[in-house]
Structure 1
Amino acid sequence: MVSLSSLTIACFIGIPLGTVLAIKRFYFRKTLLAIINSLMGLPPVLVGLIVYLYLSRSGPLGWLGILYSPTAMIIAQVILIAPIITALSNQIIEELHEDYRDLFLSLNAKPMQAVIAYIYDSRYSLLTVILAGFGRAISEVGAVIIVGGNIDHLTRVMTTAIALETSKGNLTLALGLGIILLTISLCISLLAMWIKSFSKRYAHA
């Protein structure tokens, strides 16, 4: 649920933001895109440390009392996933914008209408972007251990359980959890590919 919640929030932030950056031209646009692209490679441990410092009792958001909770884990994962979703969405929409720009200008479409139209028209390609974000979320260890604490029945997820069991020497259990995690990821990828293929056939039927 942590990974799914993080992915959902990151998509609601990243896809519209990437679309706006693709179709709008303003002074700091290239600088902003460069920052977002550089954030794609954020070290998870660094993100975890920064979120920890903000959410700890001595931090500016310590009064929220959400450190070592699923909420803190979601915040850390959103920070990691959102730049990936934004940058990849921007690349897809920017290519589409080259083809549709004159059409939207002739129709005098409002910016929000253009954003919705671009997202809808590129929905199949954006599915691949979502999968990339899901891959980052489901494989995350460093940040979620720091801000979640790997507490049993509360903040322990499959990746942190694998790390814990490996450190304890329970390699068989760790390997089993790894296979389960890989199977889940593979099944979701295959399902997304099937939905993409089926939707394209249905659209051209």
Structure 2
Amino acid sequence: MDEISQGLLAAFRLILTLDADLIEISLRSLYVTCTAVVISSVIGLPLGCWLALRRFRFRRAVIAVLNALMGLPPVVVGLIVYLLLSRSGPFGVFGLLFTPAAMIIAQVIILTPLIASIAHQAIRDLWADYHDLLISLNTTRGQRMRTLLWDGRRALLTAALAGFGRGIGEVGAIMIVGGNIDHVTRVLTTAIALETGKGDFALALGLGFVLILIAIVVNLVIHRLSGTEVRGRW
């Protein structure tokens, strides 16, 4: 309990004093995760919608694989991305290893199956309600996808927020591809791992509480801006 109270005090001290390193690390964490969530949503939401509408031979197998990839081990993703981006790898010429770009790539690979799978489940239920109407209107597949994505936007927001929640707390992959370089690729999760390794548990807990606070604030802001709870009452 003493270490937890010290961690809380460390968190309050870092926030109240507007610690420069904390602000830099927090902004980098938000930049990496938010960018990865946007890219993953652009890929995953249409993919999930397409799988809900499209019927083809190996559809169930594809959905099963997609669901399985939701539990993709981050360290394995980090290792694969590391090998691809290393100097001896096929994309080593771009010099992306140990940069925020590499961290974003790793997170996109991790988050896309999660967002796509949740989107597929949400759109599948919505498609059951809209099927007869959209078929009777003789709509194209593109029109159906746009309609379902728009009308299911609140449910799809949950998919994006789930991706954000997993991304902001991810440490394994970004530690491997980012290298936890100070002022370059250090984010909150890797900073927590570093301070824990150094034995500074109070500061590690303080950073952890800041991380939790950021995740809560971002979720509350998104829900407030989207009006999800307010509209859901009517």
**TM bucket, shorter chain:** over 0.9
The aligned residue for residue 69 of structure 1 is 99
Helix, strand or coil: the match of 1:25?
coil
Distance 2:57 2:101 in 1: 35
What is the one-letter code of the residue matched to 1:137? Answer: G
What is the one-letter code of the residue matched to 2:59? Answer: R
Structure with more relative contact order (C-alpha pairs < 8 Å, separation 6 or more) = 2
Helix, strand or coil: the match of 1:40?
helix
The aligned residue for residue 127 of structure 1 is 157
The aligned residue for residue 197 of structure 1 is 229
The aligned residue for residue 56 of structure 2 is 26
The aligned residue for residue 97 of structure 1 is 127
1:52 aligned onto 2:82: yes
The aligned residue for residue 137 of structure 2 is 107
- Per-residue deviation, 1:199: 4.2
The aligned residue for residue 6 of structure 1 is 36
- Per-residue deviation, 1:198: 3.0
What is the one-letter code of the residue matched to 1:198? Answer: V
Helix, strand or coil: the match of 1:72?
helix
- Per-residue deviation, 1:45: 0.4
- What root-mean-square deviation, in Å, do the aligned CA atoms of Structure 1 and Structure 2 show? 1.1
Helix, strand or coil: the match of 1:67?
coil
Distance 2:214 2:231 in 1: 22
Helix, strand or coil: the match of 1:140?
coil
Match of 2:206 among 168, 173, 176: 176
What is the one-letter code of the residue matched to 1:196? Answer: T
For each residue in 1:120-172, what CA deviation from the matched residue of structure 2 results, as whole angstroms up to 9, or x when unmatched? 11111111111110011000000000000101111000110000011011111
Distance 1:155 1:113 in 2: 41
For each residue in 1:33-71, what CA deviation from the matched residue of structure 2 results, as whole angstroms up to 9, or x when unmatched? 111111000110000000001111111111111001111
For each residue in 1:2-37, what CA deviation from the matched residue of structure 2 results, as whole angstroms up to 9, or x when unmatched? 001000000000001000000110112111111111
For each residue in 1:84-143, what CA deviation from the matched residue of structure 2 results, as whole angstroms up to 9, or x when unmatched? 000000000001111111111110111111111101111111111111100110000000
Q: Give yes or no for contact 1:127–1:196 (8 Å, CA) kept in 2.
A: no
What is the one-letter code of the residue matched to 1:141? Answer: V
Query: Counterparts in 2 of 1:33-44, with a 5 A limit?
Result: 33-44=63-74
What is the one-letter code of the residue matched to 2:130? Answer: Y
Match of 2:112 among 82, 94, 101: 82
Paired-residue identity, %: 53
The aligned residue for residue 193 of structure 2 is 163
- Per-residue deviation, 1:200: 4.1
Q: Give yes or no for contact 1:73–1:143 (8 Å, CA) kept in 2.
A: yes
Distance 2:37 2:223 in 1: 18
What is the one-letter code of the residue matched to 2:139? Answer: A
What is the one-letter code of the residue matched to 1:31? Answer: A
* TM-score, normalised via structure 2 length: 0.84
What is the one-letter code of the residue matched to 1:197? Answer: E
- Per-residue deviation, 1:190: 2.4
Structure 2: runs of 5+ lacking an equivalent: 1-30
Highest Rg: 1 or 2?
A: 2
Structure 1: runs of 5+ lacking an equivalent: none
